[in-house]
Structure 1
Amino acid sequence: MRGLVLLLILLARPVLAHEFFLGDLQIIHPAIPATPVGARSAAVYMALSNEGDEDERLLGIETPFGRVRFLEPVIDAAGNTEMRERAWLDIPAGEIVLLARGEMRGSLANVNRPLIEGGELTGTMIFEKRGRFDMFFMIDPVESETEHDPVSQPRAKVDETDRARDIADIARALRTALDAPQALIAPIALAGDMAIAGWTTGDTGARAFLRRGANGWNVELWSNDSLLLPATLTSLGVPRTDAGRLLAEVEAQETALGQAFSTRFDAFPGTAYVTGEQE
């Protein structure tokens, strides 16, 4: 077992998460922004990380409002950007593919009821090789029109891609430290080279503190709500501005995921420091 010996890992009922596994394919935070009053369409976002040796193809996503359209920004000869529909989404082996602002995205029409922040929407993803997979979308905070526009946000692609890679790397580092490949890692909050991530195995869970080093993300400790104290983050060398961003993002994400997550993390007994080299 790498790193710290984990206390107890119990088998229990499944819990909500913003990450799903389908073999070696990770579906990271499938989400839809809350819809403003009167809206009849919504964007669909997620990251798909294919850690296997074979390419995969997402053929479609079914929801109670109908199928999700895959739209890709294309620049024409005149330099104008338009969104063109694609019939499927390729997920090459060893790569992360995004449905995100500024690049390929999902679009859902015929939304005939409000989508409220913090709620969920059921869906079924249809893969060429893995078949049908039932899942759900988290309803994230409403986004502005500027955030929704791929032309006016030229940095979004880089930022979203880097964030998706960090999320995948953090989840991998935390599962390695736990020696628990199927641990649920949610939520993940980032600020520069620091991160706070929640982990759950059965009824056991905690919040972990990670730091990016020369060889990637490393888990330093996991704890309960004491990790959310500004003094704790200061003692870990987190600058005040980064600490504020981390705590605000943790609070927002845990609120969206539901009180059960925060309650489980708060109940962790004390603080456990991770020792040993992590791969």
Structure 2
Amino acid sequence: MSFKMKSLIAGIFLGLATQVSAASLEVKDAYARAMPAGQPNSAAFMQLNNPTDEARALVSAQSSVAGVVELHTHVHEAGVMQMRKIDQIQVPAGASTQLAPGGLHIMLINLQQELSEGSQIDLQLTLDNGEVLDLQVPVKKIMPMHQ
């Protein structure tokens, strides 16, 4: 392969890396909840930071480990906390939105494999501006909220 060709390929990869790092949302501390074999569902959590001067929204997510991936929140209804599917998760300009147990989260439904502690899953986040963030998310064991 010629030097020119190598330089061109290197330039393309550097350009792609710049696009990824120039994402309008930054993802911090992402993880998915470990679940033993036979459990149908899990969830992913993270902090979404928006360093831009325009509000952004997470509008969908996908993963090869789940048959269905939905955006969810918890609502207090008739004295009971219940999960609800939502259309998007807002991230205000210059601010952060936390996805955490008991609050906003990404629901992984109809798991296609066991989510074992120490493994990783793919997760693609689609934003309202059409941008797609491709993540490799570690799987962690977390204790239930009531313990």
Fold match by TM threshold 0.5: yes
Aligned-residue identity in percent: 24
Using the alignment, how far apart are the partners of 2:91 and 2:118 within structure 1?
28
Corresponding residue for residue 38 of structure 1: 38
* In the alignment, structure 1 residue 73 sits paired with structure 2 residue 71: no
Q: Which amino acid aligns with 2:38?
A: G
Unaligned runs of 5+ in 2: 1-12, 15-19
Corresponding residue for residue 142 of structure 2: 143
Corresponding residue for residue 26 of structure 2: 26
Secondary structure at the counterpart of residue 110 of structure 2? coil
**1:168-205 deviations in whole A, cap 9, x for unaligned?**
xxxxxxxxxxxxxxxxxxxxxxxxxxxxxxxxxxxxxx
* In the alignment, structure 1 residue 131 sits paired with structure 2 residue 139: no
Corresponding residue for residue 269 of structure 1: none
Work out the number of aligned pairs and report it.
129
Runs of 4 or more, structure 1, over 6 Å off, are none
Question: Which protein shows a greater Rg?
Answer: 1
Unaligned runs of 5+ in 1: 1-12, 15-19, 154-279
Q: CA RMSD in A?
A: 2.3
Q: Hey, which of these two has a bigger chunk of strand by percent?
A: 2
**1:122-165 deviations in whole A, cap 9, x for unaligned?**
1211111152222211111x223x33xxxx48xxxxxxxxxxxx
Using the alignment, how far apart are the partners of 1:102 and 1:42 within structure 2?
13
Instruction: Map 1:227-246 to 2 at 5 A.
Output: none
Using the alignment, how far apart are the partners of 1:67 and 1:54 within structure 2?
29
Secondary structure at the counterpart of residue 37 of structure 2? coil
Q: CA deviation at 1:25?
A: 2.1
Using the alignment, how far apart are the partners of 2:69 and 2:46 within structure 1?
12
Corresponding residue for residue 92 of structure 2: 92
Q: Hey, which of these two has a bigger chunk of helix by percent?
A: 1
**1:7-66 deviations in whole A, cap 9, x for unaligned?**
xxxxxx99xxxxx84435210122112212321211111110111100001111111124
Higher RCO, 1 or 2 (CA under 8 Å, sep at least 6)? 2
Secondary structure at the counterpart of residue 111 of structure 2? coil
Instruction: Map 1:1-279 to 2 at 5 A.
Output: 21-64=21-64, 65-76=66-77, 78-140=78-140, 142-144=141-143, 146-147=144-145, 152=146
Q: TM-score, normalised by structure 2?
A: 0.76
